[in-house]
Structure 1
Amino acid sequence: MTDTLPGVLLLHADAKLADAWVRRGVVPSYVVPLPGWTAIVPADHTQLGAPYDDSLTVLANRPVPTRLRTALGFFVIGDIAVVSAQTRGSRSTPRMLSWAPGHGADEMPGFPTLKVGQLAEAAGLHEGDVRAVTRVLGARTGRPVERLQELMKVLALPGAAMLRGEGVKSDLEAVLVEPDKSAVGHFEKVARDEDDMRAELREHS
């Protein structure tokens, strides 16, 4: 049992900017300064109704403002590992790839595909280091959390242990940030409006 959920979003921004961004969202999270990055680690599920109660899915899908990018996300959602990337020059929709035991890496339906070279470049690796990333994602054995931890290590990214909840609460610089009530209320309204619109479209289709 850990005090966090199995996900880490790394932002190329200082902790103060990351803190403000978390407050404007709906996912209670630890904000943890790391060398060269700030980690956002979901601490609990949201207080919204399904399907927006799943903090990992909500955080993986949330667009990151340009000033906080590059943003790299590593999440265990259900039985699969999900990797997301948003770079300064990219659109607001995250690029994604998934990994599943027995299957290996694959695209995420509905999202722009995150290619291995793009992931390596976003992490700051040189072209020659892409082979190690390909090897990790090409494997078909192991558990999603183990595969993500290995991937973060070959990408030379900090925070891999946080996927298991290790070292988060014990980090003296880690701060638990709760979303502002106004941000949660706004999200709920937008979600309701979208649900109503979809229902109306179904009625007239």
Structure 2
Amino acid sequence: MSAPDQTDVAIVLAAGPRPEVDAWVQAGVVPVTVVPLDRWTAVIGRGRSRAGAPYDDGGLVLAARSLGPRAGPGLGFFVLDGRAVITVHAPGRRRAVRWVVWAPDAGLLRPPGLDLAGPGEIVAVAGCAPSVREELVELLHETSVRPHRMLQAVMATLELPGTRLVEEPEHADGLQEVAHHAPDPRQVGWFDDAVRDTVRLRRELGALP
């Protein structure tokens, strides 16, 4: 399977049972590589979404998709539009994705419309000691590194596996128990239909022009 463009990073570390993570992957619209890493299962985006525009950005679609209570909890690590993005999938039912967005030379951002995650949430989902929170806070105030390096530093601080995959997603291809998943065309069709139905409903309700 071909690797994504070097500027792209899309990694989700899921703590749920492997069969539940596989079921979550199979219901998606993004081609991915799945591989066990210690107590996590890594889901690595490997290209563009198969859905129609504007949902063809594989990294963004994967970042916005909730793991749900069975495949989660988990943490996502992405480079999107030159920014380092961390997504938090906390335990519990019906939990929305929460976000950390960081940009070089600017540090932490507060994009409107996103539910932002606090450092304590990240540390808790990672399974680290509460004392790691202060180290993570200090790290996220750094502004002079590349987004890839920021993600690797965060993962290392949280003692998470997969830091090499940030720079070399193709490294997963040689690991044990690796599996590649291409989106099921039926899932893609259902996704596109659902998006059209949502847009139509919002227009009928006056929420869209």
Q: Same fold (TM over 0.5)?
A: yes
1:192 pairs with one of 176, 193, 196: 196
Q: Partner residue of 1:69?
A: 72
Q: CA deviation at 1:89?
A: 2.9
Rounded to whole Å, the distance in 2 between the matches of 1:12 and 1:36 is: 7
Cα distance, 1:45 vs structure 2: 0.6
The equivalences for 1:11-22 within 5 A come to 11-22=14-25
- Assess, with a 3 A threshold, how the Cα gap between structure 1 residues 89 and 21 changes in structure 2: closer, same or farther: closer
Q: Check whether the contact 1:46–1:53 (CA below 8 A) recurs between aligned residues.
A: yes
Structure 1 equivalent of residue 92 of structure 2: 89
Indicate the RMSD between aligned Cα atoms, in angstroms.
1.9
**Which amino acid counterpart does residue 89 of structure 1 have in structure 2?**
G
Counterpart Cα distance in 1 of 2:29 and 2:170:
23
Report the counterpart of residue 181 of structure 1 in structure 2: 185
Q: For residue 172 of structure 2, what is the aligned residue in structure 1?
A: 168
**Does the 8 Å CA contact 1:15/1:31 hold for their aligned counterparts?**
no
Tell me: CA distance 1:40–1:148, structure 2 relative to 1, closer, same or farther (3 Å). same
Amino acid at match of 2:175: D
Across the two proteins, how many residue pairs are aligned to each other?
A: 204
> Contact (CA 8 Å) 2:11, 2:45: kept in 1 or not?
yes
Q: Counterparts of 1:135 and 1:166 in 2: how far apart (Å)?
A: 31
Aligned mates of 1:44, 1:81 — CA distance in 2: 18
Gaps of 5+ in 2: none
Distance in 2, Cα, partners of 1:16 & 1:201? 39
Q: Please tell me whether the aligned partners of residues 14 and 33 of structure 1 are also in contact (alpha carbons under 8 angstroms).
A: no
Which residue identity is paired with 1:3? A
8 Å contact kept, 1:96–1:107: no
1:34 aligns with 2:52: no
Q: Write the letter of the residue equivalent to 2:192.
A: E
Q: Which moved more, 1:51-60 or 1:13-22?
A: 13-22
Shift, 1:91, TM fit: 3.9
Q: Distance in 1 between matches of 2:156 and 2:48?
A: 27
Q: Which of 94, 102, 105 is matched with 2:105 structurally? A: 102
C-alpha deviations, 1:19-70, integer Å up to 9, x for none? 2211111011001101010000011111222210001111111111202111
Equivalent pair of 1:35/1:158 in contact (CA under 8 Å): yes
Does 2:4 match 1:6? Answer: no
- CA distance in 2 between partners of 1:43 and 1:94 (Å): 21
- Once the two structures are superposed, residues 128-149 of structure 1 have per-residue CA deviations (whole angstroms, 9 ceiling, x without a partner) of 1112111211101111111011
The structure-2 alpha-carbon separation of the partners of 1:112 and 1:77, relative to structure 1 and needing over 3 Å to count, comes to same
Shift in alpha-carbon separation, 1:158–1:202, aligned structure 2, 3 A: same
Task: Compute the displacement of 1:200 (Å).
Answer: 4.1
Matches within 5 A, 1:51-62: 51-62=54-65
Alpha-carbon distance between aligned partners in 2 of 1:203 and 1:74, rounded to the nearest angstrom: 32
After TM superposition, give the deviation of residue 203 of structure 1 in Å. 9.1
